[in-house]
A and B are shown apart, each in its own frame.
Chain A
Amino acid sequence: DGGITQSPKYLFRKEGQNVTLSCEQNLNHDAMYWYRQDPGQGLRLIYYSQIVNDFQKGDIAEGYSVSREKKESFPLTVTSAQKNPTAFYLCASKLAGGTQPYNEQFFGPGTRLTVL
């Protein structure tokens, strides 16, 4: 899956708990993204980051938080405020973010989160 790793592959969470999903890339890409995918549906953007120490909310940021302290890492925390977190989470990266919009995204293998 193109130099992006996500861990864990499967994650189970009890209601009220925060969990953090890991995303690491060794592609030297500037931009990184988090998407949520529900069964039979498309991708919805949660957060994205174009450079280190900067990130922007996507379309469904409520109940999620991110950090971008290193270029290669973009962890996503699913907080207890997210009311329906069970989904498949995909991380992606892209070379040079908005300054080179013609670059394609590279995706990680995904993390499947289930709330018990």
Chain B
Amino acid sequence: AQSVAQPEDQVNVAEGNPLTVKCTYSVSGNPYLFWYVQYPNRGLQFLLKYITGDNLVKGSYGFEAEFNKSQTSFHLKKPSALVSDSALYFCAVSPLDSSASKIIFGSGTRLSIRP
């Protein structure tokens, strides 16, 4: 079965430190991978995506993500965290088969940045 896993429910980081939010996937073929962010009582906002090419993808708000095919991972990273980065982060994958319209979301990771 195709799936996305975010193994950490919560990640706590001090402001100014680097942050990593983990994501692993299990899909057939080469997937398209996405990261979204959700602030309280709001919809999700798109951060970045991997389609093909360079394994390091840069996105909004200084975030980047590294695609690792051998480890089937797509971890979200930022070199220096801000308090305003505190939010709920979702990893998602779009399969390449006939169910391509059904995007698969991870369970989410709550990122908390302390001042």
Contact = CB atoms under 8 A, between A and B. Distances in A.
A85 interface: no
Contacts, number: 68
Given A41-B107, A102-B94, A58 B102 contact: yes
A68 B45 CA distance: 24
A101 B95 contact: yes
B41 A98 contact: no
A108 B43 contact: yes
Contact of A42 (B49, B51, B101, B108): B108
B63 interface: no
In the complex, which range does the number of interface residues on chain B fall in?
A: 20 to 34
The dominant DSSP class at the B interface is loop
A31 B90 contact: no
Interface in B63-115: 90, 94-96, 98-103, 105-108
Interface of B: 32, 34, 36, 41-46, 49, 51, 90, 94-96, 98-103, 105-108
